[in-house]
Structure 1
Amino acid sequence: MTTAREVFTAVLFLTGAGFCLLGALGLLRFPDTASRLHAAAKAQTLGLLLILVGAAVQMPPRHTPVLLLVALFQLLTAPITSQIIGRTAYRTHGLDREALLRDELADRLAREGTPLHEHDRPDRDEDSER
């Protein structure tokens, strides 16, 4: 029984480490911010979750709540951080908008009156600057 558990844990650890490695390579190799965000958020999160499951298999059951908290924290913070970085890249022109299939944020920002480009800003008259 312990041999099967150790093999299962080894497979989870190696698979999780592989996903983390692929996520790190994606951060280095992918050309734009959007694809780098996918590498960071998806591969790293899956890799960490697999490693945590492998650790939970080997640890006594009293340590499982701590591992669940780490997994929950990762699942909650990774998407939020990715969205903040993505929006910042979008607004600072760090994202190639031509590569997007749908650009829903541009429509929303236009409705809110927040321009995306410098030339989209309304011209200021001299009276408003004084």
Structure 2
Amino acid sequence: MADLATYTLTALGLVFFVAGTIGLIRFPDTFSRLHALTKADNLGLGFIALGIAFQADTWTQLALLALIWALALLAAGTVSQLVARTALTSHERAEDP
């Protein structure tokens, strides 16, 4: 039963990663690309971590998986905000005469 949950959740996570990648390629501007990539990748990583958690043997491994996911969420949000701010600033400069 644990193997089935691992396969299902990992496959679902990979679907979200693919959706985020397609959004990165297909969306027209920086902000919509960031939104698609950040949301889909965070959710994809969460599903993959949850799928791997079914294979964990100890509570330490579960805690490490949760820590990895939390740090990835923090890093993705921070980097996304910095990229968006830079894009907004450079867009304002490009429009100034």
Task: Give RMSD over aligned pairs.
Answer: 1.8
Distance 2:18 2:57 in 1: 28
- Using the size of structure 1 for normalisation, the TM-score is 0.68
**Amino acid of the structure 2 residue aligned with 1:74:** A
- 5 Å matches for 1:98-109? none
The aligned counterpart of 2:96 is 118
Counterparts of 1:68 and 1:89 in 2: how far apart (Å)?
31
SS of 1:93's partner is helix
- Residue 70 of structure 2 corresponds to 72
Deviation at 1:22, TM superposition (A): 0.6
Q: Where is the helix percentage greater, Structure 1 or Structure 2? A: 2
Following superposition, which runs of at least 4 residues in structure 1 exceed 4 angstroms of deviation?
none
Query: Which segments of 5 or more consecutive residues in structure 2 lack a partner in the other structure?
Result: none
Q: Give the direction of change, closer, same or farther, for the CA distance of 1:116–1:29 in structure 2 (3 Å limit).
A: closer
Alignment identity in percent? 39
TM-score normalised by length of structure 2: 0.89
Name 1:18's counterpart in structure 2: 15
1:19-41 Cα offsets, whole Å, 9 max, x none, are 00110111111110011001111
CA distance in 1, matches of 2:91, 2:22: 24
Q: Show structure 1 runs of 5+ residues with no match.
A: 95-114, 120-130
**How many pairs does the alignment contain?**
96
Q: What letter corresponds to residue 92 of structure 1 in structure 2?
A: S
Answer 1 or 2: higher relative contact order, Cα 8 Å, separation at least 6: 2
